[in-house]
Amino acid sequence: MSDSEQNPKKSIEEIDQVTIRFAGDSGDGMQLTGSQFTETTGIVGNDLATLPDYPAEIRAPAGSLAGVSSYQIQFGREDIQTPGDQPDVLVVMNPAALKVNLPELRTHGIIIANTATFNKRNLELAGFEANPLDDDSLNEYKLVSIDMTMLVEKALEDLGLPSKVMARSTNMFALGLLYWLYDRPMENTFTFIESKFKSRPEIVEANKRALQAGYNYGRTTRLISTSYTVTKATLPAGTYRNIMGNHAIALGLVAAGQKSGLRLVYAGYPITPASDILHMVSNYKNFGVITFQAEDEIAAVTSAIGASFAGALAVTGTSGPGMALKTEAIGLAVSAELPLVLINVQRGGPSTGLPTKTEQADLFQAMYGRNSETPVVVLAAATPVDCFNMAYEACRIAIEHMIPVILLSDSYLGNGSEPWLLPSMDDLPNIENRKVSSSNGEFHPFAITDPSTMARPWAVPGTPGLEHRIGGLEKDALTGSVSYEAENHEHMVHRRQQKVEVIADRIPPLSVFGDDKGELLVLGWGSTFGPIRSAVTRLRSKGHAVSHAHLNYLNPFPKNLGDVLVKFPRVLIPELNMGQLSRLIRAEYLINTLSYNKIQGKPFTASEIEAQVLDILKETRDAG
């Protein structure tokens, strides 16, 4: 190497935020690369949000469009609410990754491509007639072509590894290059590599060298003339970690078990994208937690109901098709007035649908998907971190009110991550259970002794003197004995509805981001929080009288929701469905809502919501 190569003239630019996307074949390790970049980025003090996107097939044919896996991260100084609308940098490990991801790359964005994979076969598989790296089809982007595979092989040549094994470290080269480009330290990833491959020292060495080679390549060549420092975020002081939504749910459940003093029993059946919750809870056995992989979705929910009858904090988690199977059993839990938490990590439907893609179209299922009048509490998490809060809250409500609670998450939240200012256990609200150990006089298992919670006493088997029978037949409102009496049935139907309604007195009111009056309110629920909040922040900074309110509680609604809505002449409800919340709001509050729907298996971008709001504001002004 010549001197000039070692000390090229390079500029360093300071930027506020950036969005990058790693894309490759599902075997290229893009999820690992992305999550390493994310960890390091959190450690250096940026705010961030991530979006993994991977195929349903574990190994789609190599090089095919169906097999493309990607990981996007936005990070920077400001309050980062979404993984970014359009990547500024796209790393592509093969032609298919370029083909699939190019349409979303920002104009003049940077493409970093591993040229080694752009051979005839891969180009054909991706549907390219000519090599796009060689013609001028990518002229409107900044193209950086690197033969990463060859450079990795060179860096590892004395290790005596087969080329196939060496090629597996190519993702570390790309990661190293991006670490250089955005001025991140490599130590965290070095540590990760050492621990992940600790039984195979040659693989540790290979990956570390590949990472270093990528970093050095950026520093010493002139292919990329500018590197960036990204301003740190001004986040509240405290200890942080990155957390994915599914992991946050698992932690929320364990925390609720600890705080309530009840044994957590989590029953599940493997289903994408909810299985991770089962995996993660299974790692907390030293908390006395029981996890049970049932033979099917029905056994998962019914075994949870059995555990609840026995006095445990009983939880089952699944995705939409699994919820459909649990329907009848949820009715039993409603009828038996037992505490039960059901988690639905939603995915695209109907039927098997889009198992790895996001959607929020199970709201009606949660609200109404049962025979007869069978109301349950419905909550929704807004962000990956909020998954912790709402899982805890679902447990609190279920236990304190002796009622089943459905918590809606989705694939985007479950697999997405963001930095989490770690809470203290002392800050979490207490959870009081309704267990009884004796009775003054005759015991009435269905008597409601506390009108504020409408909870019945929880007399669990093993308690002497309180033996009783419950079941799915209609029960007498006091004794719980089977009753076919007409008036009693009507009373019980109303009672089950009221049990949901009284919860509105024990949840926080809906808060409004921005002014509580204005031209337009964007009302959201679930994972649309990030893009809505980003869009409304931008609109407000441009002077528009737009506010944002976000519902964590969908049944019951917060008590002040009607008062919030009437202060705005227009209410826009963006949803990743055909307008389910919109219909609930119309039915409940008799107001004209505007729906904005996207059903592509992808989250909204902030720009889409911003543009939609601007269109509405323009239309109303033009009309006025």
Partner 1 sequence: MPDSGASEAMQALSRKDFTSDQTVRWCPGCGDYSILAQVQKTFPELGRNKEEFVFVSGIGCSSRFPYYMNTYGFHTIHGRATAVATGLKLANPDLSVWVVTGDGDGLSIGGNHLIHLLRRNLDINLLLFNNRIYGLTKGQYSPTSEFGKVTKSTPQGSIDWPFNPPSLALGAAATFIARSVDVEGKHLQEMIKAAYRHHGTSFLEIYQNCLIFNDNAFASITGKDDKEDHQLILEHGQPLLFGKDKSKGIAMDGPRPVVIDLADGKHSVNDVLVHDKTDRMIALILSEMTYRPEFPTPLGIFYEIEIKTYEDLIYEQIERAVEKSGLGDMQAILHAGHTWEIK
Contacts to partner 1 from residues 216-275, by CB under 8 A: 235-242, 251, 254-255, 258, 263, 265, 267
By beta-carbon proximity to partner 1, the closer residue of 304 and 380 is 304
Sole window of 134-142, 162-170, 194-202, 421-429 interacting with partner 1 (rule: CB under 8 A) = 421-429
Subset of 158-197 contacting partner 1 (CB under 8 A):
188
- Report in angstroms how near the CB of residue 45 gets to partner 1 at its nearest: 6
- As a dihedral over the C-alpha atoms of residue 387, residue 392, residue 393, residue 395, rounded to 10 degrees, the angle is 130
By beta-carbon proximity to partner 1, the closer residue of 287 and 589 is 287
- Within 8 A by CB and 6+ apart from 584, the residues are 363, 367, 554
Q: Out of 198, 200, 285, 506, name the contact with partner 1 by CB under 8 A.
A: 285
Sheet holding 377-380, edge to edge: 290-293, 264-268, 313-318, 340-346, 404-410, 377-380, 553-555
Q: Out of 311, 414, 531, 574, name the contact with partner 1 by CB under 8 A.
A: 311
Q: What is the sign, positive or negative, of the torsion defined by CA atoms of 229, 233, 238, 244?
A: negative
Q: Out of 22, 180, 284, 568, name the contact with partner 1 by CB under 8 A.
A: 284
Q: Are 250 and 432 in contact (CB under 8 A)?
A: no
Q: Out of 249, 274, 278, 299, name the contact with partner 1 by CB under 8 A.
A: 299
- Report how far residue 358's alpha carbon sits from residue 52's, in angstroms, rounded to the nearest whole number: 11
If binding is defined by CB under 8 A, does position 441 make contact with partner 1? no
CA 258 to chain centre: 24
By beta-carbon proximity to partner 1, the closer residue of 30 and 313 is 313
By beta-carbon proximity to partner 1, the closer residue of 155 and 211 is 211
Q: What is the DSSP string of 339-368?
A: -EEEEEEE-B-STT-BTTS-----HHHHHH
If binding is defined by CB under 8 A, does position 423 make contact with partner 1? yes
Other C-beta atoms within 10 Å of 587: how many?
8
Query: Contacts with partner 1: how many residues (CB under 8 A)?
Result: 71
Sole window of 296-304, 343-351, 483-491, 518-526 interacting with partner 1 (rule: CB under 8 A) = 296-304
Other C-beta atoms within 10 Å of 583: how many?
15
Subset of 444-503 contacting partner 1 (CB under 8 A):
460-473, 481-482
Structure tokens at 22: 């790693």
- Report in angstroms how near the CB of residue 134 gets to partner 1 at its nearest: 41
Subset of 44-73 contacting partner 1 (CB under 8 A):
45
If binding is defined by CB under 8 A, does position 332 make contact with partner 1? yes
By beta-carbon proximity to partner 1, the closer residue of 26 and 316 is 316
Q: Are 91 and 59 in contact (CB under 8 A)?
A: no
Other C-beta atoms within 10 Å of 200: how many?
11
Residue 1 DSSP SS3: coil
- Report how far residue 32's alpha carbon sits from residue 21's, in angstroms, rounded to the nearest whole number: 13
Q: Is residue 53 packed enough to be buried (19+ CB in 10 Å), middle (13-18) or exposed (0-12)? A: buried
- Report how far residue 386's alpha carbon sits from residue 409's, in angstroms, rounded to the nearest whole number: 10
Tell me whether strands 570-575 and 593-597 are parallel, antiparallel or unpaired.
Answer: parallel
- Print the binding letters for residues 520-559 with partner 1: x by CB under 8 A, - otherwise: ----------------------------------------
Sole window of 17-25, 68-76, 158-166, 303-311 interacting with partner 1 (rule: CB under 8 A) = 303-311
Residue type at 18?
A: V
Residue 572's nearest CA partner among 505, 522, 502 is 522
- Report in angstroms how near the CB of residue 237 gets to partner 1 at its nearest: 5
Distances (CA, A) of 206 to 12, 154, 163, 224, 230: 30, 11, 12, 25, 29
By beta-carbon proximity to partner 1, the closer residue of 39 and 608 is 39
Sole window of 124-132, 139-147, 307-315, 537-545 interacting with partner 1 (rule: CB under 8 A) = 307-315
By beta-carbon proximity to partner 1, the closer residue of 423 and 518 is 423
Q: What is the sign, positive or negative, of the torsion defined by CA atoms of 32, 33, 36, 38?
A: negative
- Report in angstroms how near the CB of residue 326 gets to partner 1 at its nearest: 11
Subset of 93-112 contacting partner 1 (CB under 8 A):
none
- Report in angstroms how near the CB of residue 308 gets to partner 1 at its nearest: 8
By beta-carbon proximity to partner 1, the closer residue of 37 and 118 is 37
Q: Out of 141, 292, 513, 589, name the contact with partner 1 by CB under 8 A.
A: 292
Q: Out of 310, 566, 578, 611, name the contact with partner 1 by CB under 8 A.
A: 310
Q: Out of 15, 62, 138, 298, name the contact with partner 1 by CB under 8 A.
A: 298
